[in-house]
Amino acid sequence: GDSVTQMEGPVTLSEEAFLTINCTYTATGYPSLFWYVQYPGEGLQLLLKATKADDKGSNKGFEATYRKETTSFHLEKGSVQVSDSAVYFCALSALNSGNTPLVFGKGTRLSVIA
């Protein structure tokens, strides 16, 4: 079945460091890919998305490129801030239908220290 694999956390970085959170997927067809962020005590927020190969999603300084050849969608940010501390989830939607529930990775906790 479809699945998403994220790097194990927690990830601890100093402020202004470069961030990469790895995400790889297994799916039939051509899925849409998403990154969600969850701040402490809150629900998930859609951070960015990409719907076809080579698309780059970006938001709030975060970027991720849909790499079909490596089945990956790694999240990157050039300079993290303390306010980026959160749990990040990679997800996919395998079919071109919103009726299909998303498949989520297990999440990666990021802690940014000043």
Binding site for another protein (CB under 8 A): 32, 34, 36, 41-46, 49, 51, 89, 93, 97-99, 101-102, 104-107
Q: State in angstroms the smallest separation of the CB of 98 from another protein.
A: 5
Nearer to another protein, 6 or 74 (CB): 6
d(CA 27, CA 72): 11
Question: Closer CB to another protein, residue 25 or residue 34?
Answer: 34
Q: Minimal CA–CA distance to 60: which of 86, 87, 78? A: 78
Counts of helices then strands in the chain (DSSP H, E): 0, 12
- Minimum CB–partner distance for residue 79 and another protein (Å): 27
CB of 31 to another protein, least distance (A): 9
Ramachandran class of 78: left when φ > 0, alpha when ψ lies in -120 to 50, beta otherwise: alpha
